[in-house]
Structure 1
Amino acid sequence: MPSYVARLRSLLERGRKALLPSGEAISKVPILDMLAHNWYLGFTSFGGPAVHFQIFRRLFVEKYQWIDETVYQEMFALCQALSGPGSTKMLYAINVLHYGFWTGIAAFFVWCLPMAIAAFGLALGVEQIDKKLPGPVYALLSGLNSATVGIIALAAYQLSDKAITDTLSRILVFVSAAAGTLYNALWYFPLLMVGGGLATVIWDLKLLQRVYRATRPSRPRPATPQAQDAELRSFEQAEIQSSVRSRPNVQSHAPDRHSPISSPSPSSHSHPETHTSLTTSWKLGAAIIAAFLASFAIVMTCRGIYGGSNRGFDVFANLYLAGTIIFGGGPVVIPLLREYIVAPGWVSPRDFLLGLAITQAFPGPNFNFAVYLGALSVSGSSIPAVFGALIGLVAIFTPGLWLHLGFMGLWMTVRKVPAVRACLRGIHAAAVGLVFTAVYRLFETGFLDSEVQNGGSLSRDPWWVVIIALSFVGGLHFKLTPPLAILLGAALGLVKYGVDTA
């Protein structure tokens, strides 16, 4: 009898390891090993990109130990500095570094396809509903949005705890959040991140001090060789200290204040250069970037010449343009898609906001919203809805992934340059500040009812603010997971409707 119990325990342990594996290889076949380590993320990663980055850090840095904390922070800054979906690029890049290009592409599809299919199904359903929804549906959607605001606010708080390493990074997070809240434009968010990068380059490399020393009146040089040697040693020491401060996270090997697990030290599998030669060649990286720029020029030229003649191409060209110029990930994609999809009259404002409210509660990438919009955009044309969904998927994701692959090759070459590392530290801080901006934007558009179908502020009723606080405090202190917070928010929204109509 004990032997049967031992066998049962062994089978259960094997099943547990297969479902929730460690970082060790489970299969010698890369695609199978990737599936074992990634299959569930597209179903369980709720909360949008800010939460995704936290999930990836716990998984790939702390548990799997595929990369170390320093590389993770650099990759985070690089993902935010380039256009396209931020968290999707992070997952894609980590898998490319660990397995190679083709397995990394497969990991992207494993990540995005589950909820892309759900977004397509949602589009088919929305196309059939009446213009005015039942009251309980609006209450449920407002509850979903309220819980999502709390989840993103918690992720912003936790990301800022990692981004803030000194006074300057603290200032950059605050200034970026405040500036992004006060003004919104397509060119504005990239400008804020560039400003953050320049600020840390100037500060970490002491450029102002160097300019001052170079422009002030010269003084007689030390007369003795001993004095000259002392001055040289002092200058070299200052350079070493500047290089140390220019690291993205000088506390990368200190214990995480929110986790009992300390950041692991770099190990043999923590160095991505050993996994694939694709990302170590700056020449190949430059060629990939040049190929993308050529494709972008061709698509935009055809958009100008043939625009309006075919709905499918128009949707592809608009979403391809949006995927190229979106900086900052999910928070920025919403107003841009409104301009390129709703403004031409392809999707109604009501359907846009309805889909936004529901897909915000989906796990996986927020860019799957483009799949929903692509399916609705071809409604009434000769193009089947499934082709519209595929157009949306390919057009919105391709530019960011294509560019990121090219820049990974350049990054491996220049990542050790002090100025580059200092710049990434500032971009990281500014990008985290913009996550707080995303919290505010969703808060101001999260309320929906029959009279406010274009979205209103959740401050209209304290009930929604309580749901926000509940999801934030629950996640911070009581280990309330994002899926449960989403369900709780929806349930409390229905409770609010029941109390109002009683």
Structure 2
Amino acid sequence: MLELEVSGFVKEDRSLLEILAVSAKLGVTSFGGPIAHLGYFHNEYIRRRKWLNEQDYADIVALCQFLPGPASSQVGIAIGVIRAGMLGGLIAWLGFTLPSVIALVLFALLLQGFDIGSAGWIHGLKIVAVAIVVQAILGMGQKLAPDRNRATIAVLVAAVSILWQTASSQVLLIGIAGIVGMLLYKNATVPNTASLHVPISRSMAILCLSVFFKLLILLPVLRPIVQVEWLSLFDSFYRSGSLVFGGGHVVLPMLEREVVPTGWISKSDFLAGYGAAQAVPGPLFTFAAYLGTMISGVKGAVIATTAIFLPAYLLVVGALPFWQTLRQSAKVQGALIGINAAVVGILLAALYNPLWTTAILAPVDFVLAAILFLMLVFWKLPPWIVVISGAIGGILIS
């Protein structure tokens, strides 16, 4: 019996080490954003290692597209959970996230240590961010707002977001869009799929969902009472990670409204970091590590990174056992259609403010943005090449 138990521990340790090694490899090599990440995951986890079958992987991707948060990171967490339980999900997230966290922390320390915030290449990074967000809007718009009703939702949400710029406005708009989608698309197609086996009990799932909602409700209440910087930081990033639908780029306006008006970071430094985040592999949500470092050093990076990814982990663990039931609801499918259209509108508003108003200050800035967009969309160059080109262009035009 003892030998069997020891053997079980050894097997579990090997499985966790394997998850760490594979996810870290993906964290170093996965350039190109969430959609590209899903391709890397499929190649590594499904084709090469056969940890899941094609149907199970499709189910996980569908779930993570449905949940708020960083979709690619959530897919990695879900695969880790199915492979080795809750600890496996944590290890999979750590391996995939840590490389870009380290890179962005170092960039933030460089920005602070050498006072290069006004350098030409920093302005170039802001212009890179414009080109990348335009690309994201076009891609997401074609997929998530392709008809009259959804395009109307997107434009109305963009208009209200621009004219009513508060932290709560986006949450309210997403909720309204979900209700509208539920009414307009009440006969949405319900996918017919096989059940996904998940090694998580429903009681544990309910506990994780309970923790998620309690933190979302209690943190804003405690923040003005306690008035401690780390709690305020945790609250801002936790809410951003909890309420972002549509993946990495949509977190931009959420975070901007949390950290710039409060005076934690200047708009210029915010956009410089966002541009730099395009040059590193892994999830775009690691932009939080840069912001945390700029606000409160390495300690701030740890708090911000943990806070923005914690909702993703809690939601994945909490939703996996119930996903099959949710997918069979036409109302849920309709609400998701409306929410996705609203996400396009929120990103469209962010293109105007803070991106366009801060980065495109002269005709030559627009020319550089157009060239970078051409490189991204039509030449299909890797994002890191576009980022470097933008930095060099910023130096030349400054």
TM tier, shorter chain?
Answer: 0.7 to 0.9
Determine whether 1:107 maps to 2:92. Answer: yes
Equivalent residues of 1:145, 1:361 under 8 A apart: no
* 1:294–1:178 Cα change, 3 Å: closer
Correspondence 1:273 to 2:174: no
Q: Distance in 2 between matches of 1:60 and 1:131?
A: 40
What is the Cα deviation at residue 106 of structure 1? 0.8
TM-score by length of 2: 0.77
- Select 1:306's aligned residue among 226, 241, 258: 226
Aligned to 1:120: 105
Alpha-carbon distance in 2 for matches of 1:147, 1:353: 10
Residue of 302, 305, 313 corresponding to 1:390:
302
Deviations 1:345-396 (A, max 9, x none): 4434443343333234333233323222323323xxxxxx332221222222
Q: Which moved more, 1:98-107 or 1:407-416?
A: 407-416
1:120 is displaced (CA, Å) by: 1.8
Amino acid at match of 1:389: A
**Matched ranges for 1:169-318 at <5 A:** 170-184=147-161, 185=165, 186-205=167-186, 246-247=189-190, 273-274=196-197, 276-278=198-200, 281=202, 283-307=203-227, 310-318=228-236
Report the CA distance shift for 1:143/1:349 in structure 2 as closer, same or farther (over 3 A). closer
| Matching residue's letter, 1:178 | V
The one-letter amino acid paired with 1:174 is A
Alignment correspondent of 1:212: none
Quote the Cα distance in structure 1 between the aligned partners of 2:266 and 2:133: 27
The structure 2 residue matched to 1:369, chosen from 276, 287, 312, is 287
Distance 2:29 2:357 in 1: 25
Gaps of 5+ in 2: 1-11
Indicate conservation of the 8 Å contact 1:190/1:327, yes or no.
no
Q: Is the 8 A contact 1:156 1:435 kept in 2?
A: yes
How high is the sequence identity, in percent, across the aligned residues?
Answer: 26
Q: CA deviation at 1:306?
A: 2.0
Residue 115 of structure 1, CA deviation = 1.6
Task: Indicate the residue corresponding to 1:414 in structure 2.
Answer: 326
Alpha-carbon distance between aligned partners in 1 of 2:182 and 2:215, rounded to the nearest angstrom: 33
Offset of residue 96 of structure 1: 2.6
Which deviates more from structure 2 when the two are superposed, residues 66-75 or residues 394-403?
66-75
- The partner residue of 2:270 within 324, 341, 352 is 352
Paired residues in the alignment total 377
Supply the distance in 2 between the matched residues of 1:493 and 1:470 (Cα, whole angstroms). Answer: 16
Deviation per residue, 1:105-144 (Å, 9 max, x gap): 11111121112112222222222223763xxx42x33444
In the aligned structure 1, how far is the partner of 2:175 from the partner of 2:362?
A: 31
From the superposition, tell whether residues 436 and 347 of structure 1 become closer, same or farther in structure 2 (CA, over 3 Å).
closer
Look up the equivalent residue of 2:283 and give its one-letter code: P
Q: SS at 2:114's partner residue?
A: coil
Q: Structure 1 or 2: larger helix share?
A: 2
Alignment partners' CA distance in 2, 1:438 and 1:119: 22
Larger CA Rg, structure 1 vs 2: 1
> Which letter maps to 1:41?
L
Matched, 1:75 2:63: yes
Which residue of structure 1 lines up, in the alignment, with residue 237 of structure 2? 319
- 8 A Cα contact 1:176 1:431, kept in partner: no
Deviation at 1:28, TM superposition (A): 10
Aligned-partner Cα distance in 2 for 1:391–1:72:
28
Go from structure 1 to structure 2 and tell me whether the alpha carbon gap of 1:495 and 1:190 turns closer, same or farther (over 3 Å shift).
same
The corresponding residue for 2:115 is: 130
Q: 1:416 to 1:444 in 2, by over 3 A?
A: same
CA contact (8 A) 2:250 2:346 kept: no
Matched residue type, 1:393: T
TM-score for both structures, normalised by structure 1 = 0.63
Q: 1:53 aligns with which of 7, 11, 35?
A: 35
Distance in 2 (alpha carbons) for counterparts of 1:342 and 1:401: 27
Unaligned runs of 5+ in 1: 1-26, 207-244, 251-265, 379-384, 448-454, 498-502
CA deviation after TM superposition for structure 1 residue 444, in Å: 0.8
